[in-house]
A and B are shown apart, each in its own frame.
Chain A
């Protein structure tokens, strides 16, 4: 078995019970997926689709009211197997940073503004690495050079660094222990295009040289196209489609994916891009049947009552749609004739 992570029918709900009013929000509802060694797995989905809840579970950063209700998430690290849903606190502490690490979105809220970068590295990584003092600082300096950062920034405060450098530091924190599995939550969303490309290149380089697996979460499909080996599309807490990157972009088999791919504007093409109508469903009260049916152009009566299973529809491709055979890639509508502007 080469998979480093296998998730089986994972369910994690936000369970709330305030003043006798019970509410449950099914943020992760029956997700099954597996990720191989040395693979970059992209997770795409809009806000409030449950993608952050899913990776919180996978990162073992579960805090009430989020609770794992069912299923399992089994990691096969070289140091031993561990199931996030059943592991004890001590077991999780042992793998955190060393085997499993997390690149977070807002670099400014990750880095303590009152501590120098070198100190922040000590806070995070000194214990998992088992190093201290000069040996530790030397290890960090080497790692910073790998990230194309000057080791002198260990004496700088976070506010003295630019946004791109800060994001490199957070990537550095997550990778200094050579983890086997990295979870990256929108690591480039706050950066502008030039820096974004730079940082993505860096993540890809590190991943290749360390041989780690990455779960890469972002809602930017263009980023996914360039970094992910396989992509899973999350809609309203469920995995609706999963395919190798190229297949997903050229032959999507779920209407939501087809729309996501078609709505991307491209330089050099001014055809009218369709926009998806309707709003994302409320997870506290999701629609019955397929959760995409109120916005779906291919909806039939069956979709409104029965939940479509995630079935294999092609090599490496799975789709949860009753009508996946009818899904066509959407071509841009009428090419638009632009009036010339002086």
Chain B
């Protein structure tokens, strides 16, 4: 089986300042990976703010065009010459955004979004089959149409609304879901419901998920493979548990050392790790070197000697 999504040497360069300033920022720099080669998986992209994760997601969704490189979805590039092809692509790749309260218009009923998605992508016209499609998608996320029908966004909790957002994304039966920090705005008691849901989607409905986050604990919990990004570059890539159990790149090690565990009490864990200079690593320029595949299958960016 060929990969569902292939990202080949993608870079995105934004100009900084005026047109004439000539300064550039490489938001995403020569990123390559593939998703879904061995069936449905949860592929996680981890990185600090400003590491290019969201730009990468926008490029995969076709909202932003790469400066160089190709993004291939099911054998087709994601830049579409016409609207019909674009709509077909949108039916297969669906986004879930960070803040559900911003994703929905507060003045519209949430079931309206579900209905228009069903009309647009499934070509349904009669009310009964639209309702059936909506109910089917809502059942997958543990809700039902009866709970949601006629409700406005403020009448639902953050966790429920995020589940409605995921249900909306599931209506066209996509093969790839791109979830950009889907739990960072959701309360702790509801967060695991969303994370467990993403896992169910992979296991029971065969949906690939690209999970973008800076939370290493939930990434460890659900993902199969992951990449760690710093300043637009991939610094480490491979099987999620392998990497998070024993990260090799200095930045990955710093990330892991920075995760606060509920098992450590008192201020001792807040001291910076002795062998890693956090401030110099965090402010250094782009990490240099090339991605080298290690014996255990992971790729690590090693400094060029």
Cross-interface CB contact of B270 among A226, A256, A260, A270, cutoff 8 Å: A226
Stretch of B60-68, B90-98, B102-110, B259-267 at the chain-chain interface: B259-267
CB of A266 closer than 8 Å to a CB of B? yes
B226-281 interface with A by 8 A CB criterion: 239, 241, 244-245, 254-256, 258-267, 269-272, 278-279
Bound-state CA distance A196–B258 (Å) is 8
| Of A191, A195, A256, A342, most B-chain CB atoms within 10 Å | A342
Residue of B nearest to A191 (CB): B49
Q: Are B282 and A268 in contact (CB under 8 A)?
A: no
Distance in Å from the Cβ of B177 to the closest Cβ of chain A? 18
Distance in Å from the Cβ of B171 to the closest Cβ of chain A? 23
CB of A201 closer than 8 Å to a CB of B? yes
B interface list, Cβ under 8 A from A = 37-38, 41, 48-49, 156-160, 187-193, 195-196, 214-218, 220-221, 224-225, 239, 241, 244-245, 254-256, 258-267, 269-272, 278-279, 282
Bound-state CA distance A338–B222 (Å) is 10
Distance in Å from the Cβ of A289 to the closest Cβ of chain B? 20
A41-61 interface with B by 8 A CB criterion: 46-47
Bound-state CA distance A288–B225 (Å) is 47
Given A270-B221, A279-B160, A226–B192 Cβ distance below 8 Å? no
Q: Are A193 and B264 in contact (CB under 8 A)?
A: no
Q: Are A264 and B262 in contact (CB under 8 A)?
A: yes
Q: Are A193 and B214 in contact (CB under 8 A)?
A: yes
Residue of A nearest to B244 (CB): A267
Q: Are A163 and B49 in contact (CB under 8 A)?
A: yes
Number of interface residues of A (CB under 8 A): 49
Q: Are B38 and A222 in contact (CB under 8 A)?
A: no
Q: Are A225 and B214 in contact (CB under 8 A)?
A: no
Bound-state CA distance A256–B224 (Å) is 31
Q: Is the interface of B mostly helix, strand, loop or mixed?
A: helix
A interface list, Cβ under 8 A from B = 46-47, 148, 163, 191-198, 200-201, 204, 208, 219-223, 225-227, 245-246, 249, 256, 259-261, 263-268, 270, 272-277, 279-280, 338, 341-342
Given A201-B270, A245-B265, A194–B282 Cβ distance below 8 Å? yes
Bound-state CA distance A249–B263 (Å) is 8
Report A-chain residues with C-beta under 8 Å of the C-beta of B159: 279
| Of A197, A223, A225, A276, most B-chain CB atoms within 10 Å | A197
Q: Are B187 and A47 in contact (CB under 8 A)?
A: yes
Q: Are B190 and A227 in contact (CB under 8 A)?
A: no
Report A-chain residues with C-beta under 8 Å of the C-beta of B48: 192-195
Bound-state CA distance A204–B95 (Å) is 39
Bound-state CA distance A191–B159 (Å) is 21
Q: Are A204 and B270 in contact (CB under 8 A)?
A: yes
Report B-chain residues with C-beta under 8 Å of the C-beta of A270: 220-221, 241
Report A-chain residues with C-beta under 8 Å of the C-beta of B220: 265-268, 270
Given A261-B262, A264-B262, A341–B221 Cβ distance below 8 Å? no
